[in-house]
Amino acid sequence: MSEVNLLPEPKFVPELHPTFRPAVLANRAFEAAARDSGAPVETGIALEQADGSVFHTRTVLFAEGHALAENNFRHLERLVKFLLWQRGGWRIHLCGAESYVARLQDYYQSNVFGKFDDDVIGVKNNGRAIEVIACDSLPAENIQSRPIGRNLDGCRIGFDLGGSDRKAAAVIDGEVKFSEEIVWDPYFQEDPDYHYAGIMDSLKRAAKHLPRVDAIGGSAAGCYSHNRVTWASLFRGVGPKDFEEKVRGMFLRIADEWNAPLEVINDGEVTALAGSMAIGQNGVLGIAMGTSQGGGYIDMEGNLTTWLSELAFAPIDLHPEAPADEWSCDLGCGAQYFSQQAVGRLLPASGIEYDASLGLPEQLKVVQQRMEEGDARALKIYDAIGIYLGYSLAHYAEFYDFEYVLLLGRVTSGLGGEHIIERSKEVMTAEFPELAARIKFHIPDEMEKRHGQAIAAASLPKLG
């Protein structure tokens, strides 16, 4: 049994991160070993959301008493962790894994990583603490979706709120008449009036270029429900009292003040919508590599699901000493691999000389400049991210049905972005040929990168 490798080394190893162990390979190795054991324990997982949506996933575990059964809990917990952030939910139903129910429940109450998941995914997003229960059979699956966006009529404002800049555009009948990007620093601002003033400023600047404002649509990092903020990194510095009083209903207040229909959703979802609109196809997985990692998904029918797609916190590297997330402190999560944070983490190992006091956006500019100059050290950074992407797309394909991948965000700009895509294709061709043959990248030009998100955001509200 000692010869079974449950954490296989990938064929492609990032030079700057040699301990990278992709979740897709680890999960497949675990399940293959469990099945080869002769007595695999079929295990069902169902996540239930507050609205009654239910999602199923299945895996296998080693039978109790098997020499490798000590690995069962980590496999189960990491899989559920991914599902919590990819799909969302507060109640976890386990079928075939009854002996792990109490341990997993305790994990969300006492473990620092689990408590973060409980607070954000359970309490803030679903209004209830995470609950783990055993069942003889999984509850019926209930997947809901809805059409949204693609409305281009009238005079609209589209905005996008990121961690390092905010953007706004004036759009008339789908044509961008004005767009502007303004640097801001919302993450650790304690006063929510800072956020409100910044958003209103951007909207007013865009409105000057319209004869009237018929609708406002926006994308923002975080989770939103019926235009209410349930949880968002943009407001992480705001205390609980001010959050309830000034943040949760901020966009409803803005809609009233502008006397216009307003719709705000997660930035990753708008990324996917922008891609779907640009190429006229459905089944789009959007990944935004900006201050953090944004994720979004348009299903094969062209609709949005109730899935969270908060991939920044979803683990894609299962090495026990994988990089720690700067907020949740959990290990191997997407933000450390697909964002400015990833560039900042890899930069010291690259050997590039830079001012360590620079912020992440400025560090990225240093790397981008070196890449344009043909510096091989910068290439190693983008090479690592490309390898991460190739393996992670295979992992995402286990949970999403998609045919197109749209990449946006500052990390994907220029020559570095081109290398990320090409390297990821090499990984998939060698390791996952069927996926490589099926998946198509949509590579937006600079104009589309600049305006696609704004047009998609502006298209969210319906008129009339």
Please write the tens of the pLDDT for every residue from 226-266. 899 998 889 999 999 999 999 999 999 999 999 999 999 98
Percent of the chain with pLDDT over 90: 86
Q: Is residue 391 part of a domain?
A: yes
Q: Is the pLDDT of residue 417 over 70?
A: yes
Q: Is residue 100 part of a domain?
A: yes
Q: 137 is written with which tokens?
A: 């059979």
Q: Is the pLDDT of residue 462 over 50?
A: yes
- What is the reported pLDDT for 378? 98
**Mean of all residue pLDDT scores within the chain:** 94
> pLDDT band for position 288 (50/70/90)?
confident
Q: Is residue 395 part of a domain?
A: yes
Instruction: Check: pTM over 0.85? Answer yes or no.
Output: yes
> pLDDT band for position 335 (50/70/90)?
very high
Determine the number of helices (DSSP H) and then strands (DSSP E) in the chain.
15, 17
The strand pair at 262-266 and 215-220 is best described as parallel
CB 380 within 8 A of CB 350: yes
Q: Is residue 251 part of a domain?
A: yes
170 & 93 share domain: no
Of 112, 138, 171, 244, nearest to 461 by C-alpha is 171
260 & 400 share domain: yes
Q: Which of 143, 177, 209 is the last residue of a domain?
A: 143
Percent of the chain with pLDDT over 70: 99
126 & 246 share domain: no
For residue 147, how far is the Cα from the chain centroid?
A: 20
3-state secondary structure of 458: helix
Look at the block and give the residue holding tokens 């962790």: 81
Determine which helix (DSSP H) or strand (DSSP E) holds 405, and give its type and residue range.
Answer: strand 404-408
Q: What's the CA gap between 372 and 365, in Å, rounded?
A: 10
Query: 48: alpha, beta or left, given left = phi > 0 and alpha = psi -120 to 50?
Result: beta
134 & 155 share domain: no
| Region of poorest pLDDT, from 179-188, 288-297, 318-327, 439-448 | 439-448
For 334, counting Cβ atoms within 10 Å of its Cβ (0-12 exposed, 13-18 middle, 19+ buried), the class is: buried
Q: Is residue 122 part of a domain?
A: yes
- What is the reported pLDDT for 449? 66
Q: Is residue 30 part of a domain?
A: no
72 & 56 share domain: yes
Q: Is residue 67 part of a domain?
A: yes
Q: Which of 114, 143, 172 is the last residue of a domain?
A: 143
Q: What's the CA gap between 407 and 452, in Å, rounded?
A: 12
Q: Average pLDDT of 318-329?
A: 96
Q: Is residue 8 part of a domain?
A: no
| Region of poorest pLDDT, from 125-129, 407-411, 447-451 | 447-451
319 & 430 share domain: yes
Give the CATH number for residue 287: 3.30.420.40
Number of domains present in the structure of the chain? 2
Q: Is the pLDDT of residue 332 over 60?
A: yes
Q: Average pLDDT of 43-57?
A: 96
158 & 240 share domain: yes
> pLDDT band for position 222 (50/70/90)?
confident
196 & 273 share domain: yes
Q: Which of 143, 167, 200 is the last residue of a domain?
A: 143
224 & 347 share domain: yes
- What is the reported pLDDT for 1? 42
**Tens of pLDDT, residues 96-147:** 999 999 999 999 999 999 999 999 999 998 989 999 999 999 999 999 898 8
Q: 256 is written with which tokens?
A: 């009233």
Of 59, 63, 30, 24, nearest to 45 by C-alpha is 59
Q: Is the pLDDT of residue 463 over 60?
A: yes
DSSP state of 13: -
Q: Is the pLDDT of residue 50 over 50?
A: yes
**Tens of pLDDT, residues 423-447:** 999 999 999 999 999 999 987 776 6
Q: Is the pLDDT of residue 164 over 60?
A: yes
Of 216, 297, 231, nearest to 262 by C-alpha is 216
- What is the reported pLDDT for 353? 96
Q: Average pLDDT of 78-91?
A: 97
459 & 377 share domain: yes
Look at the block and give the residue holding tokens 């006229």: 280
Helices 72-86, 101-110: axis angle to 10 degrees equals 60
Give me the domain span that covers residue 380: 144-464
- What is the reported pLDDT for 444? 77
Q: What's the CA gap between 249 and 368, in Å, rounded?
A: 38
124 & 180 share domain: no
Q: Is the pLDDT of residue 2 over 60?
A: no
CB 283 within 8 A of CB 299: yes
131 & 186 share domain: no
Exposure class string for 111-120: b at 16+ Cβ within 10 A, else e? eebbbbbbbb
Q: What's the CA gap between 130 and 11, in Å, rounded?
A: 37
The size of the chain, in residues, is 464
Q: Is the pLDDT of residue 386 over 90?
A: yes
